[in-house]
């Protein structure tokens, strides 16, 4: 028994049971291949279901028998797996844009919190602060060198900005899978940096360096970002895989 579709009531308008099953089967296959949130899946199925029903009705008005009209509508819509992949691509591009933008926007704030935390030990000397950070987390420099450009590209290579700038580069807007890959790379580097900083924080506490309110704030900021980025990266990976 197949799961009830959110558009089942829409298909009630199809008078013939066999034709209804045919249309339902198409939408079920599409639903099975659709990634994303329950809401976006429901919206997509409602939109495609409406179009499929309209197509079926157009064939009926042309004089086709119900089952033939349903077959014509389904054939006209094309492979449901390809359609699901098309939607996944669009969703992957959007998700990659959000991850990139989120990292670009939160990066300076989280970074500033950590610099402030290390400033207590090294004084207000920027090179010394950075040196202190990289000595605690050796991977930090590499992680930043990877995360910053990848996040910038994922954010700027998709969405409205990319379309506005498409005249400047033939690579814009980025294909959704490329944008998703960049977002995943940026997310992985960010997770590595935040994890390293949090381990560094735990290590410094064990050596008696002590935790200050600023250090705790920086740690909390990294922990929150780490959790959110990991969740978003999982979603981007799912969408990227579904985009084919």
Residues forming contacts to other proteins in the complex (CB under 8 A) are 43-44, 46-48, 50-51, 54-55, 76-80, 82-83, 86-87, 89-90, 93-94, 97, 158-160, 162-164, 167, 173
Query: At closest approach, how far in Å is the CB of 60 from other proteins?
Result: 14
CA pair distance 126, 122, nearest whole angstrom: 9
| Class of residue 135 by CB neighbours under 10 A (exposed 0-12, middle 13-18, buried 19+) | exposed
Q: Which is nearer to other proteins, 82 or 112 (CB)?
A: 82
DSSP 168: T
Query: Quick check: 183 and 101 in contact, CB under 8 A?
Result: no
Q: Closer CB to other proteins, residue 87 or residue 114?
A: 87
Work out how close the CB of 9 gets to other proteins at its nearest, in angstroms, rounded to a whole number: 10
Nearer to other proteins, 42 or 120 (CB): 42
| 29 or 195: CB nearest other proteins | 29
At 76, is the secondary structure helix, strand, or coil? helix
* Cβ at position 105, least distance to other proteins in Å: 19
Can you list the alpha helix ranges (DSSP code H) found in 14-122?
A: 17-33, 38-61, 66-77, 80-122
Listed in sequence order, the residues at least 6 apart from 119 whose beta carbon sits closer than 8 Å to its beta carbon are: 129
Token pair belonging to 124? 């207000």
- Nearest approach, Cβ of 168 to other proteins (angstroms)? 13
């Amino acid at each position: 028994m197949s799961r009830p579709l959110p558009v089942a009531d829409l298909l009630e308008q199809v008078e013939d049971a066999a034709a209804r099953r045919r249309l339902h089967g198409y939408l079920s296959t599409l639903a099975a291949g659709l990634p994303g949130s329950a809401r976006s899946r429901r919206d997509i199925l409602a939109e495609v279901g409406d179009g499929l029903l309209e197509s079926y009705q157009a064939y009926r008005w042309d004089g086709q028998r119900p089952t033939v009209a349903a077959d014509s509508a389904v054939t006209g819509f094309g492979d449901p797996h390809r359609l699901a992949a098309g939607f996944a691509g669009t969703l992957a591009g959007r998700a990659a844009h959000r991850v990139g933008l989120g990292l670009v926007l939160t990066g300076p704030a989280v970074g500033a919190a950590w610099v402030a935390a290390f400033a207590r030990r090294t004084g207000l000397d920027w090179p010394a602060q950075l040196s202190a950070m990289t000595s605690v987390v050796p991977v930090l420099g590499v992680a930043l060198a990877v995360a910053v450009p990848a996040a910038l590209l994922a954010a700027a290579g998709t969405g409205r900005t990319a379309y506005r700038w498409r005249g400047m580069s033939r690579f814009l807007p980025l294909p959704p899978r490329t944008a998703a890959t960049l977002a995943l790379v940026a997310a992985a580097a960010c997770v590595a940096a935040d994890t390293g900083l949090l381990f560094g924080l735990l290590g410094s506490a064990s050596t008696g360096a002590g935790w200050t309110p600023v250090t705790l704030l920086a740690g909390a900021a990294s922990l929150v970002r780490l959790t959110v980025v990991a969740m978003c990266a999982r979603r981007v990976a799912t969408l990227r895989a579904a985009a084919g």
